[in-house]
């Protein structure tokens, strides 16, 4: 039984030196594909070198809205180069965030630049959104991102009508350890109602998950909710990931 973690930060401030340990413990739990989103450009080289060292590890470099102020021509050029790397399977995590400091117009400009790059290179996107659902969705619709390249709405926490809207636009829903919380009633309803073909697994390690194996707990919970076997959840969510991230191939392991 094999799983794919579509959103795991193996390289991040405060968890230095953990990456290799986590890759090993993920493998021991059957998690044999790990996609690391980027957050800021200073970390991209570390993401890439980890992906080059471990067959199970892939990278999705990008600029998180928190670091939108860092975007400039040099950063854009470097990201453009990285899109051609064999283990770069997506651009992420990109989006809009109402809580962080960079101005909304800067965030939007950096998001649009990265979406255009993803379109140019046929790469899917890992989306981050906090309290900007309407604005982000409008941009994704305008650029027809879902149908052209697809993407994951990471750490989904909205209601069922919004989840259905995303699925209609050909986005996948990233489901993680929030599902394990006692008060996850809304997410539980979303997971119960959506087709499993729309669901991808993620831990967002190091927070909220603290260990890669928590992915398997999330998969078990989905299996209970949808009355499926764990094996089916593992197989179908992995197939979903391979369909979306088409640069991950059997031969590219
Ligand atoms: Zn993240």
What are the pLDDT digits (tens) for 114-127?
A: 999 999 999 999 99
Query: Which CATH fold topology does 3-252 show?
Result: TIM Barrel (3.20.20)
- Residue 134 pLDDT > 80, yes or no? yes
Determine phi and psi for 141, rounding to 5 degrees. Answer: -65, -50
Three-state SS at 113: helix
Tell me how far the alpha carbon of residue 176 lies from the centroid of ligand 1, in angstroms.
11
- Residue 72 pLDDT > 80, yes or no? yes
* Assigned token pair, 86: 């064999």
**Rounded mean pLDDT of 41-55?**
97
List residues bridging with 200 in a β-sheet: 174
- Residue 252 pLDDT > 70, yes or no? no
Tell me how far the alpha carbon of residue 225 lies from the centroid of ligand 1, in angstroms.
25
Q: Which stretches of the chain are assigned E, i.e. beta strand? A: 3-5, 31-37, 57-60, 91-97, 125-130, 151-153, 171-175, 199-201
Neighbours of 88 (CB within 10 A): 24
Tell me how far the alpha carbon of residue 253 lies from the centroid of ligand 1, in angstroms.
23
What are the pLDDT digits (tens) for 225-251?
A: 999 999 999 999 999 999 999 999 754
Tell me how far the alpha carbon of residue 67 lies from the centroid of ligand 1, in angstroms.
13
Q: Which of 161, 151, 160, 147 is nearest to 129 (CA)?
A: 151
Q: Which of 215, 202, 103 is nearest to 151 (CA)?
A: 202
Give counts: helices (H), strands (E), the chain: 10, 8
CB-based contact 126:91 (threshold 8 Å): yes
Tell me how far the alpha carbon of residue 233 lies from the centroid of ligand 1, in angstroms.
22
What are the pLDDT digits (tens) for 184-194?
A: 999 999 999 99
Tell me how far the alpha carbon of residue 90 lies from the centroid of ligand 1, in angstroms.
13
Tell me how far the alpha carbon of residue 109 lies from the centroid of ligand 1, in angstroms.
20
- Residue 253 pLDDT > 70, yes or no? no
* Assigned token pair, 220: 């078990």
3-class secondary structure for 134-183? HHHHHHHHHCCHHHHCCEEECCCCCCHHHHHHHHHCCEEEEECHHHHCCC
Tell me how far the alpha carbon of residue 7 lies from the centroid of ligand 1, in angstroms.
6
pTM: 0.97
Tell me how far the alpha carbon of residue 9 lies from the centroid of ligand 1, in angstroms.
7
């Amino acid at each position: 039984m094999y799983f794919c973690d579509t959103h795991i930060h193996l390289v991040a401030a405060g968890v230095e030196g953990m990456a290799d340990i986590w890759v090993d413990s993920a493998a021991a739990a059957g998690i044999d594909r790990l996609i690391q989103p980027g957050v800021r450009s200073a970390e991209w080289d570390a993401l890439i070198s980890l992906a080059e060292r471990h067959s199970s590890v892939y990278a999705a470099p990008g600029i998180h809205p928190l670091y939108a102020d860092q975007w400039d021509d040099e950063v854009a050029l470097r990201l453009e180069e990285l899109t051609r790397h064999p283990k770069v399977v997506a651009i992420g995590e990109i989006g809009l965030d109402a809580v962080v400091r960079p101005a909304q117009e800067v965030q939007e400009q950096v998001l649009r630049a990265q979406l255009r790059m993803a379109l140019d290179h046929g790469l899917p996107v890992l989306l981050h959104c906090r309290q900007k659902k309407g604005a982000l969705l409008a941009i994704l619709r305008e650029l027809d991102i879902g149908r052209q390249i697809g993407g994951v709405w990471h750490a989904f926490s909205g209601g069922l009508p919004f989840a259905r809207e995303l699925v209609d636009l050909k986005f996948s829903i990233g489901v993680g350890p929030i599902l394990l919380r006692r008060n996850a009633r809304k997410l539980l309803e979303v997971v119960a109602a959506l087709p499993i073909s729309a669901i991808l697994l993620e831990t967002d390690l190091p927070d909220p998950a603290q260990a890669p194996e928590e992915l398997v707990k999330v998969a078990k919970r989905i299996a209970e909710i949808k009355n499926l076997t764990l094996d089916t959840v593992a197989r179908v969510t992995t197939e979903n990931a391979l369909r979306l991230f088409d640069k991950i191939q059997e031969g590219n392991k």
